[in-house]
């Protein structure tokens, strides 16, 4: 390269970094508690560094088995199978339930785009039904209205770590109409209903350990069930699923280091940027452009490899403590809602939520411009969801409550800042 150009380029880079660093200092006070990766600690960073050096054991099935058994035990489920995401776990459920092209599944019209995708990839028709605005779960009466002779399954979800309001009623409707129930527990790992973890009332359930969920392996998730026939089918799918390639595994491990330093570390206001810059080529995003367009990406459909299972085991040992913290912080937000005159989210009777985030409905202007969160509360506000099929801006017809949540639902962080 021309030396002059190189000099200019270097100057530009240094200038950019200096101005970003300057902003970082200003942002120190504004950084606030993490909305993502809050359960990662220096111990996880250490494990990631060790695993980066232990390539010979990346395809060892033993740690994965240990992790699956530990999760099944912890979750009170008979079986658990791990994948590179709850979305892949959902694909395994489609296989386990034997859903076929032309079958219909009813899904809440307020979800992540990767949820309908898992059905679309298998040719299963997705029918959206509205939610309720107390826990943002599938609305039982909306569900009833959408059942047709082709309906084979219903997907209910427990969002923000709350147990959904119509949980038992949805299960009852499904039993009465002979439908399978898939529980999407991606945001509610560890939430309890009548003493059992969510996911154990339906036929199959999915959990996510993506970086913004209850605990993190950067990407990852489980399918669980209690029925031996479904277990055999889930295991079959897991057995057919390839491992991610070594470049992907390496990136995932680097992202444990990035996420801890950028989102959680007490020094993140200066160190986060350095680590982020040094490892900028390693960043993984969980939902790629193809998925936003409903296309199955080439790397889709993998099982979880050993090094991420080792991280997951370490995370699992800590998750109870973090969920306790989330519930305590939620009580503080309850008090804030009472004072500020906002409706608190519903905690269903006999349930123990995990409050992945604390959701509430605010004025639409306060969702469009969330900077008031910094100014008035010292926190970055979450905006799950900004569309019916997050993060895609497409709209789903006939779900007015979901539309209202899209306009008005914001989320407070529930993990405290580390110091």
Whole-angstrom Cα distance, residue 213 to residue 197? 16
Measured from the CB atom, is 87 or 273 closer to ligand PLP?
87
The structure tokens 């993060």 sit at 391
Binding mask 205-244 for ligand PLP (x = CB under 6 A): ---x-x--x-------x-----------------------
Q: Is 357 in the site for ligand PLP (CB under 6 A)?
A: no
The structure tokens 């998925």 sit at 291
Measured from the CB atom, is 77 or 117 closer to ligand PLP?
117
Q: How far is the CB of 162 from ligand PLP (least distance, A)?
A: 12
**Which token pair is 1?**
């390269």
Angle in degrees, 0-180, between the axes of helices 306-340 and 61-75, rounded to the nearest 10:
30
Measured from the CB atom, is 85 or 382 closer to ligand PLP?
85
Q: Is 186 in the site for ligand PLP (CB under 6 A)?
A: yes
Strand partners, 74: none
Other Cβ atoms closer than 10 A to 24: 19
- Decide: 335 and 139 in contact? Cβ < 8 Å: no
Residues 6+ away with beta carbon under 8 Å from 52: 250, 253, 254, 307
Binding mask 285-314 for ligand PLP (x = CB under 6 A): -x----------------------------
Only one of the segments 23-31, 42-50, 179-187, 332-340 lies at the binding site for ligand PLP (rule: CB under 6 A); that segment is: 179-187
Whole-angstrom Cα distance, residue 7 to residue 13? 10
Select from 64, 99, 115, 406 the one that contacts ligand PLP (CB under 6 A).
Answer: 115
Angle formed at CA 172 by CA 170 and CA 173, multiple of 5 degrees: 65
Whole-angstrom Cα distance, residue 260 to residue 267? 10
Whole-angstrom Cα distance, residue 249 to residue 58? 8
Q: How far is the CB of 82 from ligand PLP (least distance, A)?
A: 11
Measured from the CB atom, is 85 or 244 closer to ligand PLP?
85
Q: How far is the CB of 252 from ligand PLP (least distance, A)?
A: 12
Q: How far is the CB of 210 from ligand PLP (least distance, A)?
A: 4
Q: Is 155 in the site for ligand PLP (CB under 6 A)?
A: no
Measured from the CB atom, is 109 or 221 closer to ligand PLP?
221
Binding-site residue total for ligand PLP (CB under 6 A)?
16
Q: Is 112 in the site for ligand PLP (CB under 6 A)?
A: yes
Strands (E), 49-195: 79-83, 104-108, 111-112, 125-129, 151-157, 180-184, 192-193
Q: Which residues bind ligand PLP (CB under 6 A)?
A: 85-87, 111-112, 114-115, 157, 184, 186-187, 208, 210, 213, 221, 286
């Amino acid at each position: 390269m021309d030396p002059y150009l190189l000099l200019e380029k270097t100057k530009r880079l240094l200038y950019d970094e200096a101005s970003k660093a300057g902003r970082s200092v200003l942002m120190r006070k504004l950084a606030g508690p993490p909305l993502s990766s809050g359960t990662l600690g220096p111990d996880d960073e250490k494990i990631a560094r060790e695993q980066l050096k232990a390539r010979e054991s990346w395809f060892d099935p033993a740690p994965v088995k240990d992790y699956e058994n530990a999760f099944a035990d912890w979750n009170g489920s008979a079986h658990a199978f791990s994948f590179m995401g709850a979305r892949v776990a959902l694909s395994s459920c489609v296989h386990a339930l034997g859903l076929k092209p032309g079958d219909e599944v009813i899904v809440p019209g307020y979800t992540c785009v990767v949820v309908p995708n898992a059905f679309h990839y298998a040719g299963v028709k997705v029918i959206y039904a509205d939610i309720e605005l107390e826990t943002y779960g599938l609305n039982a009466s909306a569900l009833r209205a959408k059942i047709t002779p082709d309906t084979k399954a219903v997907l209910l979800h427990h969002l923000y770590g709350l147990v959904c309001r119509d949980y038992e009623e949805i299960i009852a409707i499904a039993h009465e109409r002979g439908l399978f129930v898939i529980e999407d527990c991606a945001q509610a790992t560890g939430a309890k209903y009548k003493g059992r973890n969510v996911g154990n009332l339906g036929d199959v359930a999915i959990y996510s350990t993506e970086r913004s969920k209850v605990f993190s392996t950067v990407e990852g998730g489980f399918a669980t069930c209690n029925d031996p026939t479904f277990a055999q089918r889930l295991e079959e799918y897991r057995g057919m699923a390839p491992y991610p390639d070594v470049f992907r595994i390496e990136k995932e491990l680097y992202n444990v280091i990035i996420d801890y330093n950028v989102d959680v570390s007490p020094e993140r206001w200066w160190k986060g940027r350095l680590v982020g810059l040094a490892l900028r080529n390693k960043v993984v995003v969980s939902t790629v452009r193809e998925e936003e367009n409903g296309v199955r990406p080439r790397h889709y459909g993998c099982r979880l490899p050993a090094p991420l299972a080792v991280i997951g085991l370490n995370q699992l040992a800590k998750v109870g403590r973090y969920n306790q913290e989330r519930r305590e912080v939620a009580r503080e937000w309850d008090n804030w809602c009472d004072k500020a005159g906002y409706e608190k989210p519903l905690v269903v009777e006999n349930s123990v939520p995990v409050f992945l985030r604390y959701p509430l409905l605010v004025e639409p202007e306060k969702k469009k411009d969330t900077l008031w969160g910094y100014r008035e509360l010292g926190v970055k506000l979450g905006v799950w969801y900004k569309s019916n099929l997050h993060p895609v801006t497409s709209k789903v017809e006939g779900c007015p409550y979901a539309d209202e949540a899209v306009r008005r639902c914001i989320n407070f962080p529930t993990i405290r800042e580390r110091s």
